[in-house]
Every structure is written in structure tokens, then in C-alpha cells.
Amino acid sequence: MDEMLQVEELSGGYSDKNILKNISFSVSRGEMFGILGPNGSGKSTLLKMISRLLPYKSGQITIDNRSLQTFSSKDFAKLMAVLPQVSSEVFPFTVKETVELGRYAHQRGLFHSWSREDESVVQEVMALTKVKGLQGVSLQELSGGERQRVFLAQALAQEPNILILDEPTNHLDLSHQKVLLDQMKRWTRQRGLTVVTVFHDLNLAALYCDRLLLLDEGEVIHIGTPEEV
Ligand code: ATP
Ligand code: MG
């Protein structure tokens, strides 16, 4: 197994509030790895630590055997894209500008002028996430589900090696859930994209994920294939 992301004996939380207790697991390259658990069990906290948005108290997280802290912000931005649980921020941008921002992030820190290749990636992810028809529309005018798809497009436009998603199907109807998750699965198979995603719905997670991790009160209850859970 080609292990890409490793979390070892991870503990920590917010100031003096300990949330995660001794969490260990690893994720392989090209795997779709699902995290499930009740409200408040620490799923988002775990994703925040993996995406360097929250420091942890003890243990370690490595990517390709390198500790998270050793990546420069530029390298880290190229490696990982993150779609947080609440993307309620409404920026004064159009759909196309928002997706282009993801593309700029991909090039972050580099001297870069807009290329034909960037434009084709932007168009591709807008088509995949079904927001192409909305490209000139301002974010303020979108529904919750449309906005969720735009932020997903922004994350994909970064062409990350690892995609971190917190309840990506929030606000999405069944047909959009299926389109997006099918697409994501294809990217793991074809491009070796590694996906770590929180799900609320066990059935949906079992359908799409290679393995599932169950969290409860900040502890790992079970890790295994959907058949084993
Ligand atoms: P949900 O299914 O509702 O999204 P979750 O599993 O993602 O839940 P977390 O957001 O990780 O849960 O929260 C875990 C615990 O940490 C909860 O008890 C929550 O109150 C607490 N918590 C979350 N964010 C903060 C914060 N910024 N400061 C202090 N405590 C927090
Ligand atoms: Mg959460």
C-alpha cells in the first residue's frame, strides 16, 4: 500500500479543551477515505488539524513521510485543497472569478501569467460541478447548493494531490450528490487524487468510500471497508 497521509497518536483541541484522543490512521494515495461520527465527535476538528488550520497538542501528521510543519505555505497550497464545512462567506465575486481564485492558489507564490491551460482547467471544473451556466453570476445571488458547488469547483481548480472535504454534499440534492461523488471517485482512479471527506450519511459514505473511520467523542471507534463497518 502506498501510504500518503499518516496520522499517529494525534491529540488536541481548542485551548484547554481536549477534543481528539490518540487518533491513528493512514490513507493511501488515490483512496477515498470517509470520516463519520455524531455531531460534536471531532470530525471537523480532525480535518482542521490535517489542513494546518489548527495546531495539535501531541502526536504527528505526515504526508509522504514528511511532517506537516516542514512544508512551506507555497508547497502546502499546491499539495492540498480544503473545502470547509461552512462556506457561508459571501464574497463580492462572480462564479467564474471564484473558481479562478482556486487556480491562482494553485500557482501561489510563483510568477505567473494567466495561461490557456489555466482557462481550460477552470472551464473543465465548472462543467464537472455543473456551475458553468452560472459563470457570470455573483455569489450573492446563488442558492446554498449552487454556492457549495462553486466552492468545490474552486478546490478542484487547485488540482491538489489531496482534497479535504467537510460534508461536501451539504445542501446538494440527490442528483447533484451523485454527479459530484461519481466525478470525485473518477479523479481518485484516474489522477491518483486522494480524498479525505467527512460524511453525515453512512449509506452515501459506504457507497463511495474505500474505507471509513468512525469517530465518537474524539476517539476512533472503528476503521475498515464499508463492508466491515
Ligand atoms: P458536526 O457533525 O456537528 O459538524 P463535528 O464532529 O465536526 O460535528 P467538531 O466541529 O470537530 O465536531 O467539534 C468537536 C467539539 O469541539 C465540539 O464539542 C465543539 O463544541 C468543539 N469546538 C468546535 N470548534 C470549536 C472552537 N472554535 N472553539 C472551541 N471549541 C470548539
Ligand atoms: Mg463538523
Instruction: Quote the pTM value.
Output: 0.92
pLDDT tens-digit readout, 74-83: 888 889 999 8
84 lines ligand 1 (CB under 6 A): no
For range 40-50, the mean pLDDT: 96
45 lines ligand 1 (CB under 6 A): yes
Output the CA 55–ligand 1 centroid distance in Å.
15
37 lines ligand 1 (CB under 6 A): yes
Architecture of domain 3-224: 3-Layer(aba) Sandwich (3.40)
pLDDT at 89: 63
Closest-CA residue to 188 (of 27, 78, 29): 29
* Alpha helix (H) residue ranges in the chain: 43-50, 73-79, 95-106, 116-128, 144-157, 174-191, 202-208
Residues with CB under 5 A from ligand 2 (ion): 43-44, 85
- Strongest mean pLDDT among 1-5, 51-55, 216-220: 216-220
Output the CA 169–ligand 2 centroid distance in Å.
13
pLDDT at 88: 60
Q: Kindly report the number of other CB atoms within 10 A of residue 81's CB atom.
A: 24
Task: Determine the atom of ligand 1 nearest the C-alpha atom of 198.
Answer: 7
pLDDT at 2: 80
41 lines ligand 1 (CB under 6 A): yes
Per the prediction, the chain carries an average pLDDT of 90
Is residue 5's pLDDT more than 90? yes
17 lines ligand 1 (CB under 6 A): yes
For the chain, what are the domain ranges?
3-224
pLDDT tens-digit readout, 98-118: 899 888 877 665 555 678 888
Helical (H) or strand (E) element with 196 = strand 194-198
- Residue 194 is which amino acid? T
Output the CA 34–ligand 1 centroid distance in Å.
18
pLDDT tens-digit readout, 208-224: 999 999 999 999 999 99
For range 22-50, the mean pLDDT: 97
95 lines ligand 1 (CB under 6 A): no
pLDDT tens-digit readout, 128-175: 899 999 999 999 899 988 988 999 999 999 989 999 999 988 888 988
Are the beta carbons of 47 and 164 closer than 8 angstroms?
A: yes
40 lines ligand 1 (CB under 6 A): yes
Q: Enter the ipTM.
A: 0.99
Q: Which numbered ligand comes closest to the C-alpha of 48?
A: 1
Lowest mean pLDDT among 46-50, 83-87, 122-126, 159-163: 83-87
Is residue 125's pLDDT more than 60? yes
